[in-house]
Amino acid sequence: MIREINVNEVTECIKEMCIEANHFLSNDMDLKMREAVKEEESIVGKQILNQLQDNLKIAGEEMIPICQDTGMAVIFMEIGQNVHFIEGDLNEAINEGVRLGYQQGYLRKSVVKDPIERENTKDNTPAIIHYEIVSGDKVKITVEPKGFGSENMSRIFMLKPSDGIEGVKAAVITAVKDAGPNACPPMVIGVGIGGTFEKCALLAKKALVKDITKHSDIAYVKQLEIDLLREINQLGIGPGGLGGKMTALAVNVETYPTHIAGLPVAVNICCHVNRHIVKHI
């Protein structure tokens, strides 16, 4: 059976999601940020984490965005193959949702039309849209307004198969060390392993929007997530990069089959805001 969905419904959803994600942390992030205050051992670190708690409170109560960098809107669309969109163009409907959300939500317009000429589009479009066709007749929308302080510190490494898991660990630690205070720690680290050059980067991005309180179902990947978080939190970078334990809140790893000759590793870094929100239609 074909299920018809009016694209206006998509627009409305995305508008609301952009506004919500920029003012309220998702439950998993909220939990980890609260835990971080308790876990932090340095005085400066604790102080900064407490300021970030105050910041979240003000943001929600007064509807001031958590961070002024309200991001470039990254949208994942998982579309059931039995869905038929009607009453308009889906790409345009998604961008209209972003446009309305950023205008009506008093969010910052941070997108330039051309990477070299750099004229602001003044409505935060276009969004970065990733489509995936899945079975069924539902649509899952994930909105991730991505800030660039941390995006700029993200890396891709084309490792050799012989580098193995130790090579992967070294790559992630290098990226986090280099990011340091620039990426607004405590960070969330999304890691992609495998695939091709572009698939690997996308895996890392997807890793960031996963629930950060959960681990991978694959035993060695789960162990890798645990080991990496422990090692990262021994680097001493700490909240705000001013020293302390809580350099990262979580490490999420996604894997995919790859070529016999390769071991791509992508490290997508996010700050402590790590906005992500999911809705189903």
Partner 1 sequence: MDRQLKSPLSEKDVMDLRAGDYVYITGIIYTARDAAHKRMFEALENGEELPFDVKNNIIYYMGPSPEREGKVIGSAGPTTSSRMDKYTPSLLDLGLKGMIGKGKRNDSVKDAVVRNGAVYFAAVGGAGALLSKKIIKSTVIAYDDLGTEAIRELEVKEFPVIVVMDSLGNNLYENVVG
Interface residues with partner 1 (CB under 8 A)? 48, 51-52, 54-56, 58-59, 62-70, 106-110, 118, 120, 122, 149, 152, 177, 180-182, 184, 235-238, 240-243, 271-273
Burial class of residue 87, CB neighbours in 10 A (0-12, 13-18, 19+):
exposed
Decide whether 70 or 255 has the Cβ nearer to partner 1: 70
Beta-carbon-side half-sphere exposure of residue 35 (alpha carbons within 13 Å):
11
Min CB(45)–partner 1 separation in Å: 10
Q: How large is the C-alpha radius of gyration of the chain?
A: 19
In Å, how far from its chain's centre is CA 127? 14
Coil, strand, or helix at residue 147? coil
Min CB(46)–partner 1 separation in Å: 13
Min CB(205)–partner 1 separation in Å: 19
Burial class of residue 81, CB neighbours in 10 A (0-12, 13-18, 19+):
exposed
Decide whether 45 or 194 has the Cβ nearer to partner 1: 45
Decide whether 37 or 64 has the Cβ nearer to partner 1: 64
Min CB(262)–partner 1 separation in Å: 31
Min CB(255)–partner 1 separation in Å: 29
Secondary structure element (H or E) that encloses residue 199, with its range: helix 197-209
Q: How far apart are CA 34 and CA 30, in angstroms?
A: 6
Decide whether 67 or 248 has the Cβ nearer to partner 1: 67
Decide whether 66 or 253 has the Cβ nearer to partner 1: 66
Min CB(79)–partner 1 separation in Å: 31
Decide whether 63 or 134 has the Cβ nearer to partner 1: 63
Per DSSP (E only), the strands in 56-169 are 72-80, 83-86, 128-134, 139-146, 155-159
Q: How far apart are CA 17 and CA 97, in angstroms?
A: 9
Task: Name the residue among 61, 9, 71 with its Cα closest to residue 279.
Answer: 9
- Collect all residues with Cβ–Cβ distance below 8 Å to 62 and sequence separation of at least 6: none
Decide whether 111 or 139 has the Cβ nearer to partner 1: 111
Task: Name the residue among 251, 236, 224, 232 with its Cα closest to residue 168.
Answer: 224
Min CB(223)–partner 1 separation in Å: 26
